[in-house]
Amino acid sequence: MTLEGGGATPPPLSTMRAGTLITPHLAEEAINSRLTCLPIESLPLTQCVGGTLRENIYAERDQPPFDRVTMDGIAVDSAALRRGLKRFRVQGVQAAGAPPLKLNSDADAIEVMTGAILPLGSDCIIPVEQLDLADGYASLTAAVTGSPYHNVHRRGSDGRQGTLLLETGTLLRAPEIAVAASAGMARVRVSSQPAVMVVSTGDELIEPGDPILDYQVRRSNTYAITATLRKRGLVRVGDDHVPDDEAQLRERLALHLTTHEVVVLSGGVSMGKFDLVPKVLLQLGVQEVFHKIAQRPGKPMWFGIGPQGQAVFGLPGNPVSTLVCLIRYVIPAIAEAMGTKREPPERLALAASVTFQPPLAYFLPVIIEHDDWGRPWANPHPPNGSGDFLSLAGTDGFVELPPGPNTYPKGFVTTVYRW
């Protein structure tokens, strides 16, 4: 995923293994420690949503940049109110965006609009609801106490010029884009997106729309993978299909490795006679980092690093395994390579007890439901094996249950991953 070398030397895998299989946590570390950041590019702000900021952004000016009127009304000198003055001559109108007028005397007022600069010589705004405006005079209709800077958003009260507004690594969503715009940035430096190639393997797979025979299977994984990548804002996503043929696989993968920073394969990483992916990748100089993770589903997952630093993910072909491994490993790895700051993981309590005995992490699909207090719970929705992806429709994601308890009671809190 990237392409420049460097970075700390990752720990040897022999020190990372728990029993014979690597754990999900260590698999994640093994992947992320082998990636270096993607390059930086400068993009117009309108093209940056979903991107990762790769520079600090500082306040261009004080915020607000001037004493800002917050109500439509009149601006007066509060000393006049304290003297008991109730009627003011209206001297002029101060609109938003206009340079400041100056109050002639404390018996005068200036009509002001929300967003205007506070006129010079005034320090207090009386809202239009508390006034009668007639014949060039404003008369107070209520007992108005005019404390200084009443209804004025003081210059610099939200932030001072030069303060750090957004840190490198920030994910750019609508509020962050607005902050960058407020700092006067027409373009910002963001991570380049990786070019991702999604490759399905398997002689049995038939494209949706094509005629299909009893013993054939629809090619659905690539649709799930590309949908997930696109939902995360990745646009440089291609896909391909290769039959279970060693020579063809070698030729196509060699090509994809020259043009992509990330290759995501589905299928062909188990122990079957036609599971050719690890073998072919090794022939192409992709170094195996691990093969198999102590998890269900998705145990046969393979990961390696190509000769130019390409990240190569061999996801098991079973559709539930594919999707779970994609969300658990590939998506965070891409975020890591883009230099995105890590968010704390989302954690939820199980809405019902779960029993799972094998010494493996259990990725269990869930529907997130809310109780009468509005609290979210993860309601288990187990598929009928790792081939049953029909039951995934309508689920929100999955929880990760680390091995140990065997029975996980209702209320057991654990990490949840959303599709």
Q: By the criterion CB under 6 A, which residues form the site for ligand AMP?
A: 200, 202, 204-205, 217, 219-222, 266-268, 270, 272, 275, 316-319, 387
- In the list ligand AMP, Mg ion, none, the entry touching 256 (Cβ below 5 to 8 angstroms by class) is none
302 in Cβ contact with 277 (< 8 Å): yes
Kindly give the residue spans of alpha helices, DSSP state H, lying in 102-218. Answer: 174-182
Residue 187: both structure tokens together: 């373009």
Q: How far is the CB of 226 from ligand AMP (least distance, A)?
A: 11
* Binding partner at 345 among ligand AMP, Mg ion, none, C-beta below 5 to 8 Å by kind: none
Smallest gap, in angstroms, from Cβ of residue 360 to Mg ion? 22
Q: Of the two residues 55 and 204, which places its CB atom closer to ligand AMP in the complex? A: 204
Closest residue to ligand AMP using C-beta atoms: 317
303 by DSSP, 3-state: which? strand
Which partner, ligand AMP, Mg ion, none, binds residue 319 by CB below 5 to 8 Å per kind?
ligand AMP
CB of 277 to ligand AMP, least distance (A): 8
Residue 375 CB, nearest approach to ligand AMP (Å) = 36
Residues 26-45, buried b or exposed e (16+ Cβ, 10 A)? bbbebbbbbbbbbebeeeeb
Residue 180 and residue 45 in contact, taking contact as beta carbons nearer than 8 Å: yes
Q: How far apart are CA 369 and CA 130, in angstroms?
A: 48
Nearest Cα neighbor of 51 from 186, 163, 176 is: 176
**Minimum CB separation from Mg ion for residue 270, in Å?**
8
Contacts of 150 (CB under 8 A, 6+ apart): 78, 124, 125, 126
Q: How far apart are CA 313 and CA 10, in angstroms?
A: 18
Could you tell me the smallest distance in angstroms from the CB atom of residue 261 to ligand AMP?
22
Q: Which does 318 bind (CB under 5 to 8 A by kind): ligand AMP, Mg ion, none?
A: ligand AMP
Q: Which of helix, strand or coil describes residue 178? A: helix
- Least distance (Å) between residue 245 CB and ligand AMP: 13
Q: Residue 21 is which amino acid? A: L
219 touches 241 (CB < 8 A): yes
- The tokens for 50 are 């979903």
Which DSSP state fits 387? T
Residue 266 interacts, among ligand AMP, Mg ion, none and using kind-specific CB cut-offs from 5 to 8 Å, with ligand AMP
**Minimum CB separation from ligand AMP for residue 318, in Å?**
4
Instruction: Give 129 or 207: the residue with its C-beta nearer to ligand AMP.
Output: 207
Q: Give min distance, CB of 160 to ligand AMP, in A.
A: 55
Residue 332 site contact among ligand AMP, Mg ion, none (CB < 5 to 8 Å, cut-off depends on kind): none
State the Cα–Cα distance between residues 283 and 306, nearest whole angstrom: 11
Report the distance separating Cα 187 and Cα 172, nearest Å: 13
Question: Which one among 73, 267, 339, 383 touches Mg ion, defined by CB under 5 A?
Answer: 267
CB of 204 or CB of 288, closer to ligand AMP? 204
Binding string, residues 300-319; x marks residues near Mg ion by CB under 5 A: -----------------x--
CB 328 within 8 A of CB 361: no
Q: Measured from the CB atom, is 16 or 324 closer to ligand AMP?
A: 324
Which positions from 178 through 207 interact with Mg ion, judged by CB under 5 A? 202
Query: 58 or 274: whose CB is closer to ligand AMP?
Result: 274
- b/e string for 96-126 if b means 16 or more Cβ within 10 A? eeeebbebeebebbbbbbeebbbbebbbbbb
Task: State which residue, 148 or 385, has the beta carbon closest to ligand AMP.
Answer: 385
Query: Is residue 228 within a helix (H) or strand (E), and if so which, with residue range?
Result: helix 221-231
* Contacts for 99 with CB less than 8 Å, ≥ 6 apart: 117
Contact of residue 200 among Mg ion, ligand AMP, none (CB under 5-8 Å per partner type)? ligand AMP
Residues 6+ apart with CB under 8 A from 373: none
Rg of the Cα trace of the chain? 31
Smallest gap from residue 345 Cβ to ligand AMP (A):
28
> Which one of ligand AMP, Mg ion, none interacts with residue 222, CB within 5 to 8 A by kind?
ligand AMP
The region of 37-45, 268-276, 278-286, 395-403 touching Mg ion under the rule CB under 5 A is 268-276
> Count residues contacting Mg ion (CB under 5 A)?
4
Question: What residues line the site for Mg ion (CB under 5 A)?
Answer: 202, 267-268, 317
